[in-house]
Amino acid sequence: MRVSSNSQYMLGTYGLQTKQAQLNHLQEQLSTLRRVVRPSDDPVAATLAVSVAQTQSMNEQQVKSAKMASSQLAITDTALQSASTTISSIKSLAIQAGNGALSDDNRRAIQNEMRERVKELIGLGNTSDGAGNYIFGGTRKDAVPFQQSGPATATYQGNQQRQDVQIASGRQLSLTEVGNDVFTPDLWNSLAALDSALSLGPSGSPTYTQDLSAAMGGLDRGLGSLLAAQASVGGRQQEIDALQNLGESMAVQYASQMSNLVDLDFAKATSDFQLAMTALQTSQKTYAQIGQLSLFNYI
């Protein structure tokens, strides 16, 4: 069989190009630390990786939404707790006001303090989140939910809807509260009735004691609504925490699955790179030596 010099050069060149391409591919894998740099490297793994990446992205978004919801509900819970404390303080003032030994000045001092607590309660009803959105105005987040309409009362300016956020597939959760379901008209009416009774006093109203008792009953009912709202918020917080923990656990699983599909076995790739480098260098030397062979060398 005749082997021409041209065939030798073509075969040698092809071999060098193949080994160089292999070396380049290994170098690309090592620089990216990925086994699957392009779909052609492993079509099946590349297809699965796309699916895992989409699921991973959705899970990350849901975890992010859960964290945001948890933060806002924590603000709501704190506001409700403070409001409960404020109403309890007002009840204590009403009990003090029932002391028959109080002077008019003492009763006016109690009334003034009570009105300050009402302002505090209105401020808590107008609590906003970190972005300046009111949390007790329903979905009307940019307007103050409660406007003071008297010395010891307020009117609701929000709407009757809640803002929901999706925290899991097929699961939405309310972030905002309907203010007049939490801070009820019964509460504000009782505060106004208490203020009116304190203004009249025992000498100005024969039903002073009964008025104080009725006002405290209304405060109890208002406090009950606050506590019910707080329990609801707490339940949602627990659900969010569970979903957040699940999402973070799934994130680890998705990352592990993605790593198994596309990440590089660094030790093996390094060994393959050294072997390919040696093979290329050997081929280059052999090619150079063969290229020098000629029949004229033996004439």
pLDDT tens digits, one per residue of 149-199 = 999 999 999 999 988 887 777 778 888 889 999 999 999 999 999 999 999
Q: Which two tokens stand for residue 110?
A: 């109690």
Query: Is pLDDT at 143 greater than 90 in this prediction?
Result: no
Average pLDDT, the chain: 82
Half-sphere exposure (CA, 13 Å, Cβ side) for 49?
18
Residue of higher predicted confidence among 284 and 128: 128
d(CA 125, CA 134): 9
- The domains of the chain are located at 5-51+263-298, 63-256
Return the top range by mean pLDDT from 46-60, 86-100, 281-295.
86-100
Scanning the structure block, which residue is given the tokens 């009116």?
196
Q: Is the pLDDT of residue 294 over 60?
A: no
CATH node for 63-256? 1.20.1330.10
pLDDT beyond 60 at 289: no
Q: Provide the whole-model pTM.
A: 0.71
Nearest to 130 by CA among 175, 178, 71: 71
Distance CA 42, CA 48 (A): 10
As a whole number of angstroms, the distance between CA 140 and CA 161 comes to 8
Give the percent of the chain with pLDDT over 70: 74
- The three-state secondary structure class of 128 is strand
Give the C-alpha separation, 52 to 256, whole Å: 10
- For residue 232, what are the CA distances in angstroms to 80, 140, 159, 239? 11, 20, 19, 11
Q: Distance (Å, rounded) from C-alpha 261 to C-alpha 139?
A: 44
Determine the average pLDDT of the residues in 121-136.
91
**CA-only gyration radius of the chain, Å:** 38
Query: Which of the listed ranges 12-26, 136-150, 282-296 does the model predict with the highest average pLDDT?
Result: 136-150
Cα 213 from Cα 99, distance rounded (Å): 12
Contacts of 216 by beta carbon, 8 Å cutoff, 6+ apart? 91, 94, 95, 190, 194
Main-chain dihedrals φ then ψ at residue 243, nearest 5 degrees? -70, -35
pLDDT at 296: 47
Residue whose C-alpha is closest to residue 71's, from 199, 237, 202:
237
Taking each helix axis from N to C end, the angle separating 266-292 and 5-32, rounded to the nearest 10 degrees, works out to: 160
Share of the chain above pLDDT 90, in %: 43
- Between the two ends of the chain, the Cα-to-Cα distance in Å is 22
User: Residue 65's closest CA among 244, 233, 251?
Assistant: 244
Q: Between 280 and 111, whose confidence is greater?
A: 111
26 in Cβ contact with 272 (< 8 Å): yes
